[in-house]
């Protein structure tokens, strides 16, 4: 079924690739192209309905080698636990040695194969060096989970510049380095899967999450453009999946979010859904699934409807940070003082959050306790 999909796509793509400029196309060429497009689209729709009614085929992950960024805790750790149960070898990247040690201990106690590396994914030299080390010691990576993410959770004018840069460097720019590090071998071997952990905030804007939303919008676009580029190149066995969950519990990022109509997601359920999406080679997984209707709502109805819906759905994404009073021109001196204070306090705040998370995160999986 997948090969048939690719052949249909390549046939359609070749028609456009070999065409004369549109100004020189005959009316017959335009009609033929449009008919081909309709036929291919109908085929994809029929296939989607078939999968909805009868289920998707699920691939075997036994023997795969997976790199998971942000594997020192939270969702990354839960993903690793599920993958090793399927026979996958996991390599965890994180900046926290303590978190990596704890994750490795848990996974090895389950009988899983696990290695860990201290890697700051925002630094491409570290990414490339760690990737070379993996290839020389363990072989070619076949699964890449771009899972690591950071959040400042402040209004734009209250967000220090270095935190905005950090949000983009970790949440999306790092994806360029990790993909460039592992994709060439995936293409060479005609086998691989790249998973982007984005967010529903990559589809809709949320107040006090401007840097986070922007970086997640970019991550969603990165996945889509990469997938299309692989298809145009005729590479049909290197897959990409983008995961867009709502706010997740017990990850240390949105534990205090004020969500009115939809409850925050259980991290175990999200991890299960991600692994299922990977095994099915799904292109995009919105969690929960019915949020796909919200995206349609956004583009169909006027902005006032969308704005009202979002403000009621998420009255406050980060209650611990208060919105500032309206200002017309930010004070540079005040911003510099804010940057200085934040630079002094951010590390302590992160350490406190990590310590609290480790204490609070007690998750059950198949009757076993985690942490």
Is residue 241 within 8 A of residue 282, CB to CB? The reply is yes
- Is beta strand 238-245 parallel, antiparallel or unpaired with respect to 192-197? parallel
Phi, psi (deg, nearest 5) at residue 105: -60, -45
Q: What is the DSSP letter of 288?
A: S
Q: From the CA atom positions of the chain, what is the Rg in Å?
A: 22
Spatial distance between the Cα atoms of 355 and 349, rounded to a whole number of angstroms: 10
Catalytic option among 138, 212, 290, 299: 212
Spatial distance between the Cα atoms of 175 and 179, rounded to a whole number of angstroms: 6
Q: In what helix (H) or strand (E) does residue 92 lie, and over which residues does it extend?
A: strand 89-94
| 186 three-class SS | helix
Spatial distance between the Cα atoms of 152 and 155, rounded to a whole number of angstroms: 9
Nearest Cα to 69, choosing from 101, 44, 94? 94
Phi, psi (deg, nearest 5) at residue 368: -100, 155
Burial class (CB in 10 A: 0-12, 13-18, 19+), 263: exposed
Alpha helices in the chain (DSSP H): 2-17, 27-54, 74-85, 97-109, 124-137, 161-168, 174-189, 210-232, 267-279, 291-300, 303-313, 332-360
Known catalytic residue at 138: no
| 144 three-class SS | strand
Residues in the chain: 371
Residues annotated as catalytic (active site), given as ranges: 212
């Amino acid at each position: 079924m997948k090969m048939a999909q690719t052949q249909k796509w390549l046939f359609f793509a070749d028609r456009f690739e070999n065409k004369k400029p549109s100004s020189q196309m005959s009316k017959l060429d335009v009609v033929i192209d449009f008919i081909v497009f309709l036929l291919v689209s109908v085929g994809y729709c029929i296939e989607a309905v078939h999968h909805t009614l009868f289920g998707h085929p699920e691939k075997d992950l036994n023997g795969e080698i997976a790199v998971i960024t942000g594997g020192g805790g939270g969702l990354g750790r839960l993903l690793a636990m599920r993958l090793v149960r399927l026979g996958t070898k996991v390599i965890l990247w994180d900046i926290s040695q303590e978190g990596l040690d704890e994750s490795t201990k848990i996974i090895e106690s389950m009988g899983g194969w696990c290695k860990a590396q201290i890697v700051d994914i925002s630094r491409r030299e570290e990414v490339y060096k760690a990737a070379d080390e993996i290839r020389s010691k363990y072989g070619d990576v076949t699964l890449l989970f771009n899972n690591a993410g950071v959040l400042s959770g402040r209004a734009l004018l209250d967000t220090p510049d270095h935190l905005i840069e950090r949000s983009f460097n970790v949440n999306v720019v790092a994806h360029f380095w990790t993909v460039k590090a592992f994709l060439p071998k995936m293409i060479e071997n005609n086998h691989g899967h790249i998973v982007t952990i984005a967010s529903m905030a990559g589809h809709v804007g949320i107040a006090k999450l401007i840097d986070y939303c922007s970086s997640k919008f970019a991550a969603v676009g990165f996945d889509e453009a990469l997938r299309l580029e692989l298809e145009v190149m005729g590479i049909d066995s290197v897959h990409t999946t983008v995961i867009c969950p709502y706010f997740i519990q017990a990850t240390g990022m949105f534990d205090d979010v004020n969500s009115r109509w939809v409850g925050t997601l259980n991290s175990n359920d999200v991890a299960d859904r991600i692994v299922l999406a990977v095994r099915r080679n799904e292109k995009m997984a919105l969690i929960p699934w019915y949020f796909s209707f919200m995206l349609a709502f956004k583009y169909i109805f006027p902005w006032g409807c969308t704005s009202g819906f979002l403000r009621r759905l998420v009255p406050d994404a980060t209650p611990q940070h208060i919105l500032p009073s309206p200002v017309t021109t930010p004070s540079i001196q005040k911003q510099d003082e804010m940057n200085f204070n934040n630079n002094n306090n951010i590390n302590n705040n992160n350490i406190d959050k990590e310590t609290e998370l480790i204490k609070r995160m007690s998750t059950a999986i198949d009757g076993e306790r985690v942490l």
